[in-house]
Structure formats: structure tokens, C-alpha cells
């Protein structure tokens, strides 16, 4: 599967539970929507993923990827210490200048 570098880097950071590397995939003003909550900016994203990693130890296995301009969708099998694991989630990205500007996670 041919993924943009920033998404490959995001997956690597997630799978190694590196919240700093994960957050560095995002722009300073990025927005993430996940589990009904909004996280604004790189620092907030770093705190969110750090807490999520502590709670769920989630790892991602890419299944399918499609892009249309700056918008793209990654389907990934996510497994961890959460109820119903593993599940397939969709990661809706907007990528500009090699950084994630927007991420919405859906099932």
C-alpha cells in the first residue's frame, strides 16, 4: 500500500506509542475529532494521544487507502485493550504541505 509519508509516520508513531512523534505529524493548528471530542493544536493532540495510549495501547494495521486532492481516508484495523478489539476504523485526513491539518476518526 502506497501511503503518504506523513500517514506512514503517524502509523509508526502510533504503533510505537510515541506521542511526540505522533503529534509532530500534525500542523500547529491541526484539529482532531475522535470519540466525540475535539483536540486543537499539536500540543493538545500530543496530550490526547498520550492518554489514549496509556488507556488502550492501540496499534494500527492499514487495510485500505484512498485520496482525492487534500482529502484522504485510511481504513485500519485497530487493536488494543479496549472493548470490542480489534475494530476497523476510518481515518479521514486533510493533508497540506506534508502535515495533517484535520483528522476525523469514524467507525
pLDDT tens track of the chain, all 107 residues? 899 999 999 999 999 999 999 999 999 999 999 989 999 999 999 999 999 999 999 999 999 999 998 899 999 999 999 999 999 999 999 999 999 999 999 99
CATH number of 5-106, picked from 3.40.225.10, 3.40.190.10, 3.40.50.2300, 3.10.450.50? 3.10.450.50
Domain ranges of the chain: 5-106
Judge whether 27 and 10 are in contact, CB under 8 Å.
no
Integer Cα distance of 42 and 72 in angstroms = 20
Predicted TM-score of the model (pTM): 0.95
Integer Cα distance of 104 and 17 in angstroms = 19
Per DSSP, the three-state class of 77 is strand
How many other CB atoms are found less than 10 A from the CB of residue 33? 14
Amino acid at each position: 500500500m502506497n501511503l503518504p509519508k506523513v500517514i506512514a509516520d503517524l502509523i509508526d508513531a502510533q504503533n510505537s506509542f510515541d506521542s511526540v512523534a505522533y503529534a509532530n505529524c500534525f500542523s500547529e493548528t491541526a484539529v482532531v475529532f475522535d470519540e466525540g471530542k475535539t483536540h486543537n493544536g499539536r500540543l493538545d493532540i500530543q496530550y490526547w494521544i498520550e492518554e489514549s495510549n496509556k488507556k488502550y495501547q492501540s496499534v494500527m494495521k492499514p487495510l485500505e487507502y484512498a485520496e482525492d486532492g487534500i482529502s484522504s481516508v485510511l481504513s485500519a484495523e485497530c487493536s488494543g485493550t479496549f472493548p470490542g478489539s480489534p475494530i476497523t476504523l476510518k481515518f479521514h485526513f486533510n493533508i497540506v504541505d506534508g502535515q495533517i491539518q484535520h483528522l476525523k476518526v469514524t467507525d
